[in-house]
Amino acid sequence: MILRRNTARYLSVLFMVLMPAVLAYGTLNWLNPQALRTTTAHAETSNPTNPLLPSPTGVQITPLDSTLHVTWTPATDPAIAWQMVAVWDGPLLQQSKVVGKTARAAQANGLMPGHAYTVKVYSMDAQGGLSVPAQMDAATDEQHPMRNAAFFENFNEAPGDLSSDYFDVRTSQGKGQRPEDVGQASKFLVFGSENHFHTEMIGGVERGELYIRPRVPMDLSDGGVRTFQTEFDVSATQHSAGKWPEIHFVDAAHVPWSSEEFGAGNGDDWPNSITFSVRGGNGGSTSNLPLIETNIAGVQNRYLGTRAFFTPVNIRVPIVVRMSRTMAALYINGDLAVRADFNAPLPYTSGYWMLAHRSWYSDRDHATSPVINQVVHWDTIQFDGPTGSYNPVVKTYIQSTCPGVVRNEHGRIEGCPRLIPLRGTNLNVPVSISEDASTARSAVLRFSGYSDNGSLSLRVNNGQPITLTVATGGYQNVLNSYDIPVSSLRTGLNTLAFTTASANDVAISEVQLEVVFNQQRVMNREMVMGPMPMLQATANNFRIDHLLADPDVYTATTNLYNIGGTALVPYTVELLNPKPYLTLSQTAGALVSPSFGGGVTPLNMRFNFAGVSTDDEGDVIVVRVNGGVMPVYIGILVVASGATAAPTYVTTFPATTAFNKDAIPDYHG
């Protein structure tokens, strides 16, 4: 929504985006009285009712694996400030999600597959008073892999990082990427939560990107048509140079070090790759056009769809790719979005799928509401193979002390020391394999780094030397990959011995050995989920243009609430990169669920612009609200450049609120 101040000022807020990453509880300094109106209630009878509020109508539910997709028709009344969707497991509250007063859809996530729930949709006034609910019972489905699934992941696991055994996760930023004073771990996030996962980027101006690569390649050798499927939400700002979600298919022998390699705002710079995204146009209804970009043996082509796709924030829809060596088709929510017929067959028969999230100059998007805190919600990654394929066990053995997420920044990898082989001597990297090594199907060695003469020698367990052709320059922006004979691996301790010539200069790091086994993965089907202590904000994106004629002091407001179950959740609020002109109305408190009278609690951000001058690009500020299992991030762009007018934005789009369950391949819940 757009708020006008002094007829020349605009504050653009993108409504309702959930933002997380796993942190501990903050210190409770003082309690917020509004949030503590009810602290011991554990039954819905404690709801603060407002009998004058009309109720939503027409509730419909689409059951999914661990999600209930809920749609309804909102009531219209001046007293309605919000709506709320609450999910109950019998007498136990699971979650309460607050959405805008005109919202028509929400997804209740983090539920148990194959379990029955009651969903209640309320109108809510500004004081937290609730209408009589419109309610409906529904049971979730249990989604199984598609037929001949060569890879399947439903993310029905505990919150946190994606498993480094199954996923190669890499982030990268350019010099000058804002905010410069906030580390990558807080502004480039990939994390599982509520049985799906999120990617998040805060800032922009310079390049920032991340990718997620399932470590199992897809096999096209039999010439058949393959299917890839995931889910993500399609934001209204896809047309900016930072395209947000993309799906890439790359030659298995040539994996990029970063999604930057696909091109600035394009996807066809990387040789032997195919990119599927939603982009195109110059804003408004012409944006969000589906796009396929190909680079086949150096020949680049683009295929642009004609229909724009939009979803409300945090509403995922099925994304499906059908492809062979001669064609590719992208389907969104069951509809054919764009098709590409290749001029020549793909010159490779095995490739990796990569999910990318890229942010390039995101704050300069002056066509739609600017999004400083970019969030994409994803679920399910699966693809099939030849007849008889199955979802295998994968193990990845990573250099000691190096984290599972690879963060490339300014010529180094964060938290991972360089390994420099002594000239003419060995550098030994131990690898302990607890699985039966005789069942290994494939093994790939990967590391970042260079060798001045372009060569290293490798021995695996004192076997025959293998000559590795290594990049001759760079450090962070090089990923070296090599197939390793599985016959050289053994159960227990393995040694990777690197040797270099006495005159050669070498620096490598982030050594990873990823091994796919001829064993079928057994997914966790005994998952028991309960309500988690979680927080939420009603808005977490702000662009503030302080214009020449504006007063010095301005206050922006978001609202915090408890999205979890019955537990009282204490929280703290902090500025990750403090600015002298910004103060917060509170730094701590505690929140009760809106289902028990907690309502929403304002967080006021006061800006004093006396003597402040930023520039045309502005300051990017990050506010973090710590509490429960996940914090809330708020991104703020402040532009105080002496301008006399602020940009105007397109804020209303024809959003798709339905979830076409039939679009999921082989869905048999």
pLDDT at 614: 78
Distance CA 262, CA 167 (A): 19
Q: What is the pLDDT of residues 451-479, one digit of tens each?
A: 999 999 999 998 999 999 999 987 777 89
Tell me the longest C-alpha to C-alpha distance in the chain. 84
Cα–Cα distances in angstroms (integers) from residue 473 to residues 142, 184, 255, 453, in the given order: 49, 24, 17, 10
Q: What is the pLDDT of residues 4-22, one digit of tens each?
A: 233 233 333 333 333 333 3
Distance CA 167, CA 214 (A): 5
Q: Which two tokens stand for residue 275?
A: 């990119």
Distance CA 659, CA 47 (A): 31
Share of the chain above pLDDT 90, in %: 62
Alpha helices (runs of H) in 270-349, residue ranges in sequence order = none
pTM above 0.95, yes or no: no
pLDDT at 268: 87
Binned at pLDDT 50, 70 and 90, residue 283 comes out as low
Query: Considering the chain, what is the average pLDDT of its residues?
Result: 87
Binned at pLDDT 50, 70 and 90, residue 354 comes out as very high
Q: What phi-psi label fits residue 194: left (phi over 0), alpha (psi between -120 and 50 degrees) or beta? A: left
Q: Is the pLDDT of residue 282 over 60?
A: no
Distance CA 599, CA 83 (A): 11
pLDDT at 23: 31
Residue 619, C-beta contacts closer than 8 angstroms, at least 6 positions apart: 178, 179, 579, 637, 638
Among 501, 500, 496, which Cα is nearest to 513's?
496
What are the backbone angles phi and psi of residue 563, rounded to the nearest 5°? -90, -10
pLDDT at 39: 33
Share of the chain above pLDDT 70, in %: 88
Q: What is the pLDDT of residues 575-620, one digit of tens each?
A: 999 999 999 999 999 999 999 999 999 999 999 999 888 777 788 8
Determine which of 297-301, 542-546, 665-669 has the lowest per-residue pLDDT on average.
Answer: 665-669
Q: Amino acid identity, residue 68?
A: L
Q: Which two tokens stand for residue 294?
A: 């190909």
